[in-house]
Amino acid sequence: MLGENHSLQSDFPEYKAVIEKLVESDSTFASETKQYNALDEEIRKLELKGGPTSDETLHQMKHDRAVLKDTLYSKLQAAM
């Protein structure tokens, strides 16, 4: 779906407390979360406004977001 919010807390509401804890206590997790959320927001803006970007660029951005999400999800599972 175009413009769908894929923030960590939207996609993993059951990990909300863990996300907040890790953002406060793990600088790498916090940095990766910030990067992930910024990338997600940029993708949503491009999808909704039909921004000037190629399909290849948007595909790469979505790939990068998925890789970050996998990394962050692994860290969330390890923190449980």
Q: Per residue in 28-70, pLDDT tens?
A: 999 999 999 999 999 988 888 877 778 899 999 999 999 999 9
Give the C-alpha separation, 69 to 5, whole Å. 13
Q: Is the dihedral of CA 41, 8, 4, 54 positive or negative?
A: positive
The answer to whether residue 76 scores a pLDDT higher than 70 is yes
Q: Say what the pTM is.
A: 0.86
Give the C-alpha separation, 40 to 77, whole Å. 21
Distance of CA 39 to the CA centre of its chain: 7
Give the C-alpha separation, 21 to 44, whole Å. 26
